Amino acid sequence: MSKTPDSGKTEDERPSTVEQYLVKDPERFALNMARMIEQAGKAASAWAEPREKGEVRDHVAEPVVDMVKTFSKLSEYWLSDPQRALEAQTRLFSGYMTVWANSIQRLSAGGENADDSVKPELGDKRFQDPEWGRNAFFDFLKQAYLVTSRWANELVEHADGLDEHTRHKASFYVKQVSNAISPSNFILTNPELFRETIASNGENLVRGMKMLAEDIAAGKGDLKLRQADYSSFEIGKNLATTPGKVVGRSDVAEILQYDPATETVLNRPLLICPPWINKFYILDLNPQKSFIRWAVEQGHTVFVISWINPDERHGTKSWEAYIREGLQYGLDTIEKATGEKDINAVGYCVGGTLLAAALALMAQEGDHRIKSATFFTTQVDFTYAGDLKVFVDEEQVAAVEKAMNEKGYLDGTKMATAFNMLRSGDLIWPYVVNNYMRGKDPLPFDLLYWNADSTRMAAANHSFYLRNCYLENRLSQGMMELAGRVVSLKDITIPVYNLASKEDHIAPALSVFLGSKYFGGDVDYVMAGSGHIAGVVNPPAAQKYHYWTGGKPAGDFDQWLAGATNHPGSWWPHWQRWIEAKDNTRVPARKPGNHMKTLGDAPGTYVKVRV
């Protein structure tokens, strides 16, 4: 139980009094307010200067316009029928009256025997301070906010006239606005922030404004939200430390080969194709969490594609270029390094989507080197894609393409912001409050360091992905054109291990399940517990989560899940058994550099380029 700075008592023991919200040292408080304003001026300067020099162009209006259009369609439904509008307003007013009556009862009873009429969702960490329930003012703010935000969500859910894409966008935007206006985000409406500001005479705000100025400067005019203590990490020192060598380098990819950890290894090398939207070392964060290190220890000769962090030179690099100069270049490199043509391949997220498209193209071209394919949280059909689909319609894609064509790439901060918005309640607002209002440095956290280590998107590559996958869903429909050919997933007849994760908001388990039917061969569908990252990066030693296996991934997803077998722990050993069942032949361990010149130590140079 924490001690409060003003009383030495625990928060539960301290009485709810006005005194704790009164300034004790007006002169010091005033001085700190002046210092805060000075730092705020530096933040404003860091934001304005790149714009005055023409180094930054704002595109804020475009998403705001889309949000306004979406809310206009929602309003049109409710306002087109006066009776419907009146009923909606009545529900909101009734909720407010209930909260008001509850507050009156709480005041008259001295805070006793009065229960909240509306309570936060289980696991909501914003309202844990005792004052949210004990102080009538803060309790009223909390309940009024919850009533309003839930009423807004209901407006979206019950707007029968909306098409599904507009409903999805409306729900997403309502969530963003609700998270932004939470009383927990503001000094005067958050009791904990209020007390800390008074107790420190505003020094927290001075520190917070200083951090804000630093983060805007780090983002070169845009806010680069600090989510962890980045100074504690260095790629190659305490991140991405599995030993290996760079054995190939093209314009878009470095190929890494890792040192063996066993005397014999599986005959088929393993090629991992990670997403280029993030960096590959999510699979090699540290020795305890590293899928790459674990795979090496199981006897795989592991090769990984480390994608370039593109700049204006790579603007015309298309999906075909990423296939030829990334995936197939990796296969060529493996053949030179090991002499082996039969290869197991893994694709993660969009890296898996690229792998699937490449396999379909290679099948037509007679390139059959990949003998099994494993997909980690990969979509090949985008009918039920996750919340990223909110950002994809013709107008938004055209706006992104216009922005990309100015430089040849999409800024890494744009993608980072989009991903953070998918979980703004976890990845944005807690850090805004902690950093810029409490003035506290975030803690060191390797996963959040990786999350902030953003990558740019090459213009041609990203445009192809948005249009062919999210917007037009051409891959699963057998309509995607690559290298002058129309490719079909039905041509992929090799065994497929298709991993989904239960709580994935980027590649939903339903979407991955439905995509299974488009492959031409046998598909083993497995669903891991947790989400897009934790569901995949779940080492057996951690003994966390579960995974589900069942019959053929066909028919209704809920029925498949109801009949599936629940297994405790990590899916990694299950995958290893699946791989060994295809070919368990062992050969002497292969060391990087035995048959070709190496280009430096893993993790290479491409992964170290930051934006």
pLDDT for residue 1 is more than 50: no
Count how many domains the chain has.
2
Query: Which of 185, 219, 253 is the last residue in one of the domains?
Result: 219
Task: Please tell me whether residues 51 and 176 are part of one structural domain.
Answer: yes
pLDDT in tens, 346-386: 999 999 999 999 999 999 999 999 999 999 999 999 999 98
Query: Which of 204, 219, 234 is the last residue in one of the domains?
Result: 219
Task: Please tell me whether residues 251 and 186 are part of one structural domain.
Answer: no
**CA 335 to CA 496: how far, in whole Å?**
22
**CA 506 to CA 494: how far, in whole Å?**
26
Task: Please tell me whether residues 56 and 199 are part of one structural domain.
Answer: yes
The catalytic residue positions are 349
**Which is higher by pLDDT, 66 or 369?**
369
Task: Please tell me whether residues 111 and 71 are part of one structural domain.
Answer: yes
Task: Please tell me whether residues 596 and 537 are part of one structural domain.
Answer: yes
**CA 499 to CA 441: how far, in whole Å?**
36
Task: Please tell me whether residues 336 and 213 are part of one structural domain.
Answer: no
Task: Please tell me whether residues 176 and 84 are part of one structural domain.
Answer: yes
**CA 459 to CA 480: how far, in whole Å?**
18
In a domain, 225, yes or no: no
Task: Please tell me whether residues 374 and 519 are part of one structural domain.
Answer: yes
Q: Where are the alpha helices (DSSP H) in 131-219?
A: 131-134, 136-157, 164-180, 191-199, 203-218
In a domain, 539, yes or no: yes
Instruction: Note down the domain range covering 83.
Output: 21-219
In a domain, 413, yes or no: no
DSSP labels, 256-308: EEEPP-SSEEESS-EEEE--SSS-GGGGGSSTTT-HHHHHHHTT--EEEEEE-
Task: Please tell me whether residues 189 and 100 are part of one structural domain.
Answer: yes
Task: Please tell me whether residues 103 and 157 are part of one structural domain.
Answer: yes
Give the pLDDT confidence score for residue 109 in this predicted structure. 63
- pLDDT tier at 110 (50, 70, 90 boundaries)? low
pLDDT for residue 5 is more than 60: no
Sign of CA dihedral 234, 236, 242, 246: positive
pLDDT for residue 98 is more than 60: yes
Task: Please tell me whether residues 487 and 597 are part of one structural domain.
Answer: yes
In a domain, 173, yes or no: yes
In a domain, 14, yes or no: no
Residues 6+ apart with CB under 8 A from 477: none
In a domain, 67, yes or no: yes
Structure tokens at 103: 């507050």
Task: Please tell me whether residues 204 and 322 are part of one structural domain.
Answer: no
Structure tokens at 335: 């053949």
Mean pLDDT of the chain: 92
CATH number of residue 476's parent domain: 3.40.50.1820
pLDDT for residue 101 is more than 50: yes
Give the pLDDT confidence score for residue 7 in this predicted structure. 42
